């Protein structure tokens, strides 16, 4: 297949290329798109080198699928143009996620909804992806009533400049800052900008996207998203109340049977998921499973995943694999 990667020089775009190669996606030819200043540069893929081109040139080359990771404004402007040319777009930005006419897909959860007439497909927010993957088998069995989630998110979720800020601060160097405060040896309780209701856009993404993916607008959800000085993955503390009761043995079994989930839950041996476990892995890791003793039919869980892989690039490539 001829595949386009839009935003090929960014953290997620680079990871998309890596994941395509690792999963032996049948790439015959790559069409790489990035910002105007990057046009003409070469990027290696396998034993070949490909030259970064403009959107216009990419559309003329008519790839079958375009993986977008270039921001919402770019997606809003260009995704419809690619789609109109018969190019299927899988978009990693937030631009199309809540569009009623677009599918919001985590393949293991709702990939069955995809059809040949879906020309713009939305990739969910990284924090949402790992949470709904863990919740899906439990929602099917017990039906989720309410979720309280707090996230602990890697600087890689902001981009390469955020990683550089952390490394500069750690080394005692001056440099460009993308966060309003020091991130090294600190925790910033803000991911994305604040909205009128006092929540950040990231927090509201988790609310709205979770309901859409699980297909249940009645689920009560409240989120607090936090940036921490970590490279490698996002972590989440999730408290979930169900309509039906459960046993801990059943919960373990259902999570272990869920594709894409690895259960790491042996607290007596200090075995539980951490970002260093998830780094450069495609699975979502779940542990610290325990009943909430303060509320009936309620479970506590700890969920960790590599936000650049399953939280972005791998999920997009998995969607593309549905069309091979």
Could you give the residue numbers annotated as active site? 126, 234
DSSP assignment, residue 253?
H
Calpha distance 138→21 (Å, rounded): 33
Read off the tokens for 27: 């790439």
Can you point out the beta strands (E) in 24-99?
29-33, 42-45, 48-53, 65-68, 88-91
Neighbours of 17 (CB within 10 A): 23
Calpha distance 280→306 (Å, rounded): 6
Of 317, 165, 152, 129, nearest in space to 233 by CA: 152
What are the C-alpha distances in Å from 267 to residues 59, 142, 263, 273? 52, 25, 12, 10
Pair 89, 68: CB distance under 8 Å: yes
């Amino acid at each position: 297949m001829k595949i386009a990667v839009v935003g090929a020089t960014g953290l997620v775009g680079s990871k998309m290329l890596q994941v395509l190669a690792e999963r032996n996606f049948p790439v015959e030819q790559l069409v790489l798109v990035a910002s105007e200043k990057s046009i003409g540069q070469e990027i290696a893929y396998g034993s070949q080198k490909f030259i970064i081109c403009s959107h216009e040139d990419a559309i003329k080359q008519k790839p079958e699928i375009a993986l977008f990771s270039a921001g919402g404004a770019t997606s809003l402007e260009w995704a419809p143009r690619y789609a109109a040319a018969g190019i299927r777009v899988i978009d990693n930005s937030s631009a199309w996620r809540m569009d009623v006419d677009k599918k919001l897909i985590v393949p293991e959860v709702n990939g069955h909804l995809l059809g040949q007439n879906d020309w713009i497909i939305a990739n969910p927010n990284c924090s949402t992806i790992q949470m709904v993957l863990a919740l899906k088998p439990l929602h099917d069995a017990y039906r989720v009533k309410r979720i309280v989630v707090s996230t602990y998110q890697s600087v890689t979720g902001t981009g390469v400049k955020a990683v550089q800020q952390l490394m500069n601060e750690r080394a005692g160097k001056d440099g460009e800052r993308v966060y309003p405060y020091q991130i090294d040896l600190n925790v910033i309780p803000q991911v994305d900008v604040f909205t009128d209701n006092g929540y950040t856009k990231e927090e509201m993404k988790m609310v709205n996207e979770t309901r859409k993916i699980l297909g249940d607008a009645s689920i009560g959800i409240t989120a607090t998203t936090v940036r921490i000085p970590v490279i490698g993955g996002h972590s989440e503390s999730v408290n979930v109340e169900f309509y039906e009761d459960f046993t801990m043995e059943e919960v373990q079994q259902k999570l272990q049977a869920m594709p894409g989930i690895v259960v790491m839950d042996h607290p007596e041996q200090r075995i539980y998921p951490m970002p260093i476990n998830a780094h450069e892995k495609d699975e979502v890791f779940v542990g610290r499973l325990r009943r909430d003793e303060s509320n009936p039919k309620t479970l506590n869980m700890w969920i960790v995943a590599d936000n650049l892989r399953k939280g972005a690039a791998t999920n997009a490539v998995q969607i593309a694999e549905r069309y091979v």
